[in-house]
């Protein structure tokens, strides 16, 4: 060890907060979305009312960003997905994005908070999507085994896509279950795995306990998992510096 390395090793890790989004990132989102997702888009009104109903009923504003939710929906479209799993429904914003961009897509989405389930169901009904989006209420670790059994029994089709966006400490468990329910060639996406770059830092986050550890666990285990090939894409935008893990089932 050099003198400099010894000095660094003896410095305790700093407690840090995630950086706030830069005004330039927000302005860039606004500029690109104004062209690529204008208010005249076919699903714009229903998505706006989904968010306002969620906000009026005090749901936290932790849904996927507009640009990222549209990316998910386009990903489903590019792969002609017919059945998608979502872990973490909230008010069904991402589910409604997926369904409104993909008329042949069914979504199985999991949520444990009964108030979130009630608001999600209202939003799904307002969007007239009750026949294609099914919300399963309960902790996802309890609802997933039944869903996987239904897939094994042929009662539900395998997933063509899965989106993991719930309690971050269970990222790996959800990823593992999602892969079990997916067909070969399916895509599994796990949100928020970069955590402002804290995954690659010794510094200790002062908020969101377990999120950095949950992100590292899913990245490290996925790297050793012969069932998939994966990468992480960092993102900036209205949601600050974060990123997602993107895996293809082999
Ligand atoms: C980030 S939000 C999901 C946002 C949603 N995917 C979207 O983009 O619109 C995370 C959701 O996961 C739910 N959640 C947290 N822990 C859970 C668990 N153990 N089982 C199921 N849902 C859970 C939370 O209640 C919250 O509604």
- Domain coordinates in residue numbering, the chain: 43-193
> Would you place residue 117 in the very low, low, confident or very high pLDDT band (cuts 50, 70, 90)?
very high
- The ligand 1 atom at the shortest distance from the C-alpha of residue 116 is 27
Reference 63, options 195, 165, 211, 134; nearest CA is 165
- CATH annotation of 43-193: 3.40.50.150
> Would you place residue 63 in the very low, low, confident or very high pLDDT band (cuts 50, 70, 90)?
very high
Ligand 1, residues at Cβ distance < 6 Å: 62-64, 86, 88-90, 93-94, 110-113, 116, 139-140, 165-167
Pocket test for ligand 1, best of 167, 190, 244 (most atoms within 8 A of CB): 167
- For the cut 80, the answer to whether the pLDDT of residue 4 exceeds it is no
Residues in the chain: 250
How much distance in Å is there from the Cα of 3 to the middle of ligand 1?
46
Dihedral over Cα of 158, 161, 167, 168: its sign: positive
- The ligand 1 atom at the shortest distance from the C-alpha of residue 92 is 9
The pLDDT of residue 203: 85
- For the cut 80, the answer to whether the pLDDT of residue 227 exceeds it is yes
> Would you place residue 17 in the very low, low, confident or very high pLDDT band (cuts 50, 70, 90)?
confident
């Amino acid at each position: 060890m050099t003198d400099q390395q010894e000095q660094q090793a003896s410095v305790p890790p700093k407690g840090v907060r995630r950086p706030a989004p830069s005004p330039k990132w927000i302005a860039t989102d606004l500029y690109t979305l104004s062209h690529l997702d204008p208010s005249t888009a076919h699903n714009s009104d229903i998505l706006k009312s989904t968010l306002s109903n969620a906000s009026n009923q005090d749901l936290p504003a932790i849904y996927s960003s507009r640009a990222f939710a549209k990316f998910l929906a386009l990903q489903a479209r590019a792969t002609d997905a017919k059945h998608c799993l979502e872990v973490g429904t909230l008010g069904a914003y991402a589910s409604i994005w997926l369904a409104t961009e993909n008329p042949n897509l069914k979504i199985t989405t999991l949520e444990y908070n009964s108030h979130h389930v009630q608001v999600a169901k209202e939003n799904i009904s307002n969007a007239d999507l009750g026949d294609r989006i099914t919300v399963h209420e309960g902790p996802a670790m309890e609802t997933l085994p039944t869903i996987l059994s239904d897939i094994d029994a042929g009662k539900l089709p395998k997933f063509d896509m899965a989106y993991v966006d719930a309690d971050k400490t269970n990222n790996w468990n959800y990823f593992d279950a999602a892969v079990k329910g997916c067909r070969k060639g399916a895509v599994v996406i796990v949100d928020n795995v970069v955590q402002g770059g804290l995954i690659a830092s010794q510094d200790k986050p002062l908020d969101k306990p377990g999120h950095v550890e949950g992100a590292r666990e899913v990245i490290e285990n996925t790297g050793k998992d012969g069932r998939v090939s994966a990468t992480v894409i960092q993102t900036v935008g209205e949601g600050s510096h974060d990123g997602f893990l993107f895996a293809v089932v082999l």
